[in-house]
Amino acid sequence: MPLSELLPVLIGWVIAISSPGPATLAITGAAMEGGRARGLAMAWGVVSGSAVWGLVAGMGLGAAMMSHAWILEILRWAGAAYLLFLAWKSARSALRPGDAAARAVPAETSRRTWARGALIHLTNPKAVLFWGAIFALVIPQGAPVWVLWEVGLACLATSVLTFTGMALAFSARPVASAYLRARRLFDAAFAALFGLAAIRLLTARLS
């Protein structure tokens, strides 16, 4: 695919994945609270989950899932439950008094953080629909399979760069210091936004 046709797609992709949502909230929160390593693990977990849905959509399984609405409904409820769990954790942290600077960040392995990032995307049925829409709009009918791979890998590479940059930016010392000074305010905002994301997922039309 010519770069002149692929570039607008990637620009639109960056705008879409950078908009406020569960993935960006999780990455920024992990980076501010746990530092660069945790932020990067979360970012790459989100990309891994997105890659799974991209592969599913590219194989044409997204349409099969659409014809079995119960699969999307299970994912919808699972995703909403997980987002509400994240909202509860953030709210509990916001209500916890004490000096944020002296509070130890709970230990968590990079693998566990990566898994949490992947889970955020894997329990979001809108992700596979988004990938399917991208392939349907961008790839001409009858195009060879390598074009689908080209577009998919380009979008994933763009996701890696975008989310990695986000993790690095929000783990920078000034941002982390600001989080420590206003931890309870940030956590309250995260609780509200995760809760709102859960409601939006439950009320979204998956058709």
Q: What is the pLDDT of residue 160?
A: 96
Q: What is the pLDDT of residue 101?
A: 44
CA separation for the pair 175, 32 (Å, rounded): 7
Contact residues for 109 (Cβ-Cβ < 8 A; gap 6+): none
Helix (H) or strand (E) holding 98: none
**Tokens standing for 163?**
């989310």
> Which carries the bigger pLDDT value, residue 21 or residue 1?
21
> Which carries the bigger pLDDT value, residue 97 or residue 9?
9
- The pTM (predicted TM-score) of the whole model is 0.81
CA 101 to chain centre: 28
Give the mean pLDDT of 143-167: 90
Reply yes or no on whether the pLDDT at 148 is more than 70: yes
CA distances from 176 to 16, 141, 181, 194 (A): 25, 48, 9, 20
CA separation for the pair 128, 124 (Å, rounded): 8
What does the pLDDT look like over 77-105, one tens digit per residue? 888 898 898 899 889 888 877 554 444 55
Reply yes or no on whether the pLDDT at 65 is more than 70: no
CA separation for the pair 199, 207 (Å, rounded): 17
Of 125, 94, 74, 72, nearest in space to 193 by CA:
94
CA 155 to chain centre: 14
* DSSP string for 108-176: --HHHHHHHHHHHHHT-HHHHHHHHHHHHHHSPTT--HHHHHHHHHHHHHHHHHHHHHHHHHHTSHHHH
Rounded to the nearest 10 degrees, the angle between the axes of helix 22-34 and helix 69-95 is 30
Q: What is the pLDDT of residue 47?
A: 96
CA separation for the pair 42, 30 (Å, rounded): 7
By the 8 A CB rule, do 114 and 36 touch? Answer: no
Of 1, 38, 43, 28, nearest in space to 134 by CA:
1
Q: What is the pLDDT of residue 98?
A: 58
- Using DSSP, state whether 93 is helix, strand or coil: helix
Reply yes or no on whether the pLDDT at 26 is more than 80: yes
Reply yes or no on whether the pLDDT at 12 is more than 50: yes
Q: What is the pLDDT of residue 62?
A: 61
Q: What is the pLDDT of residue 40?
A: 96
Give the mean pLDDT of 138-166: 87
What does the pLDDT look like over 38-61, one tens digit per residue? 999 999 999 999 999 988 888 776
Helix (H) or strand (E) holding 6: helix 3-18
> Which carries the bigger pLDDT value, residue 20 or residue 158?
158
CA separation for the pair 49, 10 (Å, rounded): 19
What does the pLDDT look like over 101-127, one tens digit per residue? 444 556 678 899 999 999 998 988 878
Q: Average per-residue pLDDT in the chain?
A: 84
Give the mean pLDDT of 185-196: 88
